[in-house]
Amino acid sequence: MAEQPSLDPTSLWRDMLTQWERGLNSVANQTMGSNEFSRAMHQVTALSLRMQQTAGEAMSKSLQAMNLPTRTDILALSERIGRIEETLARLEAALPREAADTAKPAAPRPPRTRQPPTD
């Protein structure tokens, strides 16, 4: 005897949603797989980058006129802080192991003797 069709409306709704999702993904993937899409996407990206550059230059000039740091100034500071952090890390790594161990005793580690279960 064949199974009767489901009368559950939520089940029908879920099926419809899944079909819609698959259909739209499939159509969109076909469109996005075309040369035209790729060309248009990069034209938009290039335009956006140009606009960003123009806005950035205008903002930098305004900030300089107001005697305020620009993004470039902040990045230069960040770079210097990064270098100081790296120097500190190198110094820390170069400290004698004994001194580091005295400062912070390591917790005892379990033995490395484990064997795979036999079954």
Q: Is 51 in the site for another protein (CB under 8 A)?
A: no
Among 12, 15, 39, 61, binds another protein (CB under 8 A): 39
Among 54, 62, 64, 78, binds another protein (CB under 8 A): 78
Query: Nearest distance from residue 68's CB to another protein, in Å?
Result: 19
**Cβ–Cβ under 8 Å, residues 83 and 95:** no
Q: Write the CA distances from 2 to 5, 9, 10, 11, 67, integer angstroms.
A: 9, 20, 22, 19, 81
Nearer to another protein, 42 or 61 (CB): 42
Q: Could you give the count of Cα atoms lying within 13 Å of 67 in the half-sphere of its Cβ?
A: 0
Within the chain, residue ranges assigned H as helices are: 9-32, 35-65, 71-94, 97-103
Catalog residues that contact another protein under the rule CB under 8 A: 1-4, 6-7, 10, 13-14, 17-18, 20-21, 24-25, 28-29, 32-35, 37-39, 41-42, 45-46, 49, 52-53, 75, 78-79, 82, 86, 89, 109-117
